[in-house]
A and B are shown apart, each in its own frame.
Chain A
């Protein structure tokens, strides 16, 4: 009798082996859109955190001066037109007749106020205004922004900057974002009121946030929603399960391995496209002796041959098909298509060739290979740890013995970022927040000045020519000339193997078939493009 129970266990296991049939469910209630993500919107305050998901969500309520269309083109938002009146002055004409959802009219005062709040204490989006000297009101519907130096991409930098109401913030004592050192609550953390297409109806942090359309929105709605329910489901498998069972209509992040099965499920459509983030590996080229390695007294990565050998040993296509399940696009540049400055003809990787790699290592004097440690996050990028494991195995084949040290992002970043830069081989990913290559050049590739420039150049790659180009690009207003220089810089970096770009990970969303939505390469998700059929 009791023997049988042992088989019960086996049978339980076997039930998992059965193909998982998707369960069709009752259609959603009238035009309610229910969707989920692995993390919550951490705050309703649009300046609380500089992270895509928070900005994306809150931009449904607060609108920027210049918004982006689904294909990332600039589009008039609260400003109807803008132009540079001098190399350092941008002028914005504001949209007239716009009202905040509490009925107060939108004017230049709100823009000036929002600037003050964005660069004020508690705000985390201040870096977007690093070049700004002053924002001034010319009249009720004209605003001028003066920059400290010519900034050709200023308008691109503020498309995620939602305008807040001066009156509302003052009335509710939310003139600044929440100050974590004062133990008092900030009204704007839990409440929101803007000019945007949606209004906040209710908020239960980490559980459920409900939006309803703003009846007084100035633009003609493309969506047909009557209510939006956002829920947080942390566990990836549970999220997929909820979508399959019809409890939710759309999932914002889908693990790569679930993409194929979901595509085959009835009633579910999968949207995928490469994200603007490039995931790459970097080497410590600054120290004279590598940390965590058996090579003493010298740093193999100072030799470009070794760096190239590493690149040729890594099979990005295998990573794409196996680890990323097709959900990645290998790149050879530090910025991806969709970012200004990307050029297809520079995006050429050296061939995957372990034999050539071994030869290069031998030429550099490491015919027996060497040992080192690869630092890797395990909760930051899609399948980050699995990618690093795969890299470890690939390098083992050319004789380089890599020990993998994967840890969560808090510990990881605390270790590898400045001022310590405590790593000899690491993985990072970067999305230029400005949608422009110069952002990546300055942050990741220029020689570290330990102040503003090269802050995330963790490996300390340094090239004089490249630095000069980057500095010129920063202030060059002539677009074709600027693009040519970006291209030149990209070629220098690629040929020198400053880093090993791996791929762009895909943004994968999945929705039930009756949902009509657009996916953007920057992973933003404006609800104003969603339709429930």
Chain B
């Protein structure tokens, strides 16, 4: 057990380094930040001097070593765009993204579960068909179109919900939360639905498939034969059995949600790390981009690690094979 964990930890470190390196190499090509930093009248000499000063002319390995060295000390440098410490910029925007992702994931899980169970139990009712078609339409519309449609209907035509931003936020320590104000909740609805829609349809279909599978098993037939009530069978036995894969998938999708937040945040001007990243790409703000990617990498690696460990705990067969994944 311990050896397994140590090995996975070691692998994770390698993965992180690879992520850091790949992202770093790529950033060399996104454009020249210097031209974005200086005014139009700045001479070539001054531009070159700035480039030199920022170390942009140094060989790649040196710059990478410098980045990793500083990052290990928790120092990610200053943003080329705002001259603020990157660590703090990300820390300040992380709550926005995490709250959005959390609400989106919760929404996806709850609604997806309900729709999935219903469609699984009553597969031929008209409501089931409606749910299934809705879920299909959900995966057929690109997220940005969903966002724009929602803004159009609920913000512009109806005027019920705000079209951008987080509303009023409350500061608690280093964390800003929109959960404590009405405007904060109102601002959350549209982006969370946009972001969660895809995952919701995924969960609906997964739960439905699992339910159908489980309901066919002998185990359920026996339960019914024993005279248990429908409710007890459906929820006590069937649903319980579907939950493990659902939770796993949701966990894995959490990372995807955070990454896909880039689009939602762009459409809704949501001040999270995704928007920060897009902005940084347009500015070639290399310190911010590197830090963002390394952080996303870290989140994924942690999620993967937890999932692997869970599998390890759940499925004894895997203990022999070693390897991971599912």
A–B contact, 8 Å CB criterion (strictly below): yes
Q: Could you say which of B38, B53, B126, B266 contacts A50, with CB atoms under 8 Å apart? A: B38
Query: Given A204-B92, A451-B45, are A241 and B156 also a contact pair (CB < 8 Å)?
Result: yes
Do A238 and B54 touch across chains, with their CB atoms under 8 A apart?
Answer: no
Within 8 A of B (CB), among A139-189: 177-178, 180-186, 189
Smallest CB–CB gap between A250 and chain B, Å?
Answer: 15
A124 touches B284 (CB 8 A): no
**B81 interfacial by beta-carbon distance below 8 Å:** yes
Query: Once the chains are docked, how many angstroms separate the CA of A8 from the CA of B149?
Result: 14
Mark each residue of chain B from 73 to 99: 1 if its CB lies under 8 Å from any CB of chain A, else 0: 001011011111100110011000000
**Cβ of A27 < 8 Å from any Cβ of B?**
no
A492 in the interface (beta carbon within 8 A):
no
Task: Tell me if B268 counts as interface (CB < 8 A to partner A).
Answer: yes
Residue of A nearest to B166 (CB): A207
Interface SS majority for chain A: loop
Cβ of B133 and Cβ of A410 under 8 Å apart? no
Contacts of A190 in B (CB 8 A): 84
Note all chain B residues with C-beta closer than 8 A to A419: 44
Say how far B69's CB is from chain A's closest CB, in angstroms: 12
In the bound assembly, the distance between CA atoms of A43 and B155 in angstroms comes to 31
Q: Is the CB of A20 within 8 A of B78?
A: no
Is the CB of B269 closer than 8 A to any CB of chain A? yes
The distance in angstroms between the C-alpha atoms of A1 and B125, with both chains bound, is 11
Q: For the complex, what is the distance from the CA of A20 to the CA of B30, rounded to whole Å?
A: 39
Given A180-B83, A433-B39, CB of A413 within 8 Å of CB of B32 = yes
* Nearest CB of B to A9, in Å: 6
Interface residues on A, range: 35 or more
Instruction: Check B229 for interface membership: any CB of A closer than 8 A.
Output: no
Residue of A nearest to B30 (CB): A410
Which of A23, A45, A184, A408 is B159 in contact with, Cβ under 8 Å?
A: A23
Q: Which of A231, A234, A244 has the most CB of B within 10 A?
A: A234
A177 to B163, CA, bound (A): 36
Whether A414 and B162, one on each chain, are in contact in the complex, defined by CB atoms closer than 8 angstroms, is: no
Contact A242 B163 (CB under 8 A): yes
* B153 is an interface residue with CB less than 8 A from chain A: yes
Q: A206 contacts B271, CB within 8 Å?
A: yes
Per-residue interface assignment for chain A, residues 212 to 247, with 1 indicating a CB less than 8 Å from any chain B CB and 0 otherwise: 000000000000000000011111011101101111
Give the CA-CA distance A181 to B55 in the complex, in Å. Answer: 8
Q: Which residues of A contact B44 (CB under 8 A)?
A: 417-419, 450, 455
Chain A residues in 8 Å Cβ range of B165? 207-208, 231, 233
Inter-chain contacts of B136 with A (CB < 8 A)? 5
Bound complex: CA A433 to CA B41 (Å): 8
B151 CB contacts on chain A under 8 angstroms: 237-238, 241
- Check if B230 is an interface residue, CB within 8 A of chain A: no
Residues of A within 8 A of B84 (CB): 185, 189-190, 205
Bound complex: CA of A232 vs CA of B89, how far in Å?
A: 16
**Would you call A410 and B41 a contact (CB within 8 A)?**
no
B42 x A124 contact (CB < 8 A): yes
Task: Give chain B nearest CB distance to A25 CB in angstroms.
Answer: 6
A50 touches B40 (CB 8 A): yes
The reply to whether the CB of B152 lies closer than 8 angstroms to some CB of chain A is: yes
A133 within 8 A of B: no
One of B103-111, B275-283, B297-305 at the interface: B275-283
Contacts of B271 in A (CB 8 A): 204, 206-207
Residues of A418-438 at the interface with B, using a CB-CB cut-off of 8 Å, are 418-419, 430-431, 433
Contacts of A414 in B (CB 8 A): 31-32, 35
- For the complex formed, measure the closest distance between the CB of B72 and the CB atoms of chain A, giving whole angstroms: 13
B3 within 8 Å of A (CB atoms)? no
The one of B80, B133, B155, B283 in contact with A245, judged by C-beta atoms closer than 8 angstroms, is B155
CA distance A127 to B49 in the complex (A): 14
Q: Is the CB of B35 within 8 A of A245?
A: no
Contacts of B158 in A (CB 8 A): 23
Query: Smallest CB-CB separation from B89: which chain A residue?
Result: A205
Q: Of residues 230 to 279 in A, which have CB atoms within 8 Å of B's CB atoms?
A: 231-235, 237-239, 241-242, 244-247
* Residues of chain B within 8 A of A410, CB atoms compared: 30-33, 35-36, 282-284
- CB of B70 within 8 Å of the partner chain: yes
Evaluate contact between A181 and B53: CB separation under 8 angstroms: yes
Interface string of B260-290 (1 = CB under 8 A from A): 0000001111010001100100111000000
Q: Does A409 contact B (CB under 8 A)?
A: yes
Nearest chain B residue, comparing its CB with the CB of A414: B32
Complex Cα–Cα for A234 and B81 (A): 16
Whether B70 pairs with A183 at a CB distance below 8 angstroms is: yes
Q: A231-B165, A238-B164 are in contact. Are A451 and B85 (CB under 8 A)?
A: no
From B46, B83, B269, A234 is in contact (CB under 8 Å) with: B269
Q: Are B137 and A8 in contact (CB under 8 A)?
A: yes
B43 contacts the other chain (Cβ, under 8 Å)? yes
Interface membership of chain B positions 38-69, coded 1 if the CB is closer than 8 angstroms to chain A and 0 otherwise: 11111111100000011100000000000000
Q: Is B157 an interface residue (CB 8 A)?
A: yes
- Complex Cα distance, B42 from A433, in Å, reads 12
Contact residues in A for B93 (Cβ distance below 8 Å): 206
Q: Do B82 and A43 have beta carbons less than 8 Å apart? A: yes
Q: How far is the CA of A171 from the CA of B85 in the complex (A)?
A: 21
| A residues 4-55 in Cβ contact with B at 8 Å | 5, 8-9, 12, 15-16, 20-21, 23, 25, 42-43, 45, 48-51
Q: Is B233 an interface residue (CB 8 A)?
A: no
CB-based contact B40/A241 at 8 Å: no
Residues of A within 8 A of B81 (CB): 42
Q: In angstroms, how far is the closest chain A Cβ from the Cβ of B138?
A: 11
Interface residue? B148 (CB, 8 A): yes
Would you call A2 an interface residue if the criterion is a C-beta within 8 Å of the partner chain's C-beta atoms?
yes
Residue of B nearest to A36 (CB): B164
Q: With A206-B276, A234-B279 given, is the CB distance from A127 to B55 under 8 Å?
A: no
In the complex, the chain A residue whose C-beta lies closest to that of B154 is A245
Q: How far is the CA of A206 from the CA of B85 in the complex (A)?
A: 14
Give Cα A336–Cα B247 distance, bound, in whole angstroms.
Answer: 63
A382 to B82, CA, bound (A): 24
Q: How far is the CA of A241 from the CA of B166 in the complex (A)?
A: 16
B178 to chain A, nearest CB (A): 12
A436 CB to closest chain B CB (Å) equals 13
Query: Contact: B83 with A409, CB < 8 Å?
Result: no
Residues of B within 8 A of A374 (CB): none
* 19 A–B contacts from the bound complex (CB under 8 Å): A2-B133, A23-B158, A23-B159, A50-B38, A51-B39, A183-B85, A204-B271, A206-B279, A238-B164, A241-B156, A245-B156, A245-B162, A408-B282, A410-B31, A410-B33, A410-B284, A411-B32, A430-B40, A443-B41
Minimum-distance CB pairs A-B, first 6: A50-B39, A410-B31, A178-B83, A23-B159, A414-B32, A5-B133
Interface residues of B (CB under 8 A from A): 30-33, 35-46, 53-55, 70, 75, 77-78, 80-85, 88-89, 92-93, 126, 129-130, 133-134, 136-137, 140, 148-149, 151-153, 155-159, 162-166, 266-269, 271, 275-276, 279, 282-284
A residues near B (Cβ < 8 Å) are 1-2, 5, 8-9, 12, 15-16, 20-21, 23, 25, 42-43, 45, 48-51, 124-127, 177-178, 180-186, 189-190, 204-208, 231-235, 237-239, 241-242, 244-247, 379, 408-411, 413-414, 417-419, 430-431, 433, 439, 443, 450-452, 455-456
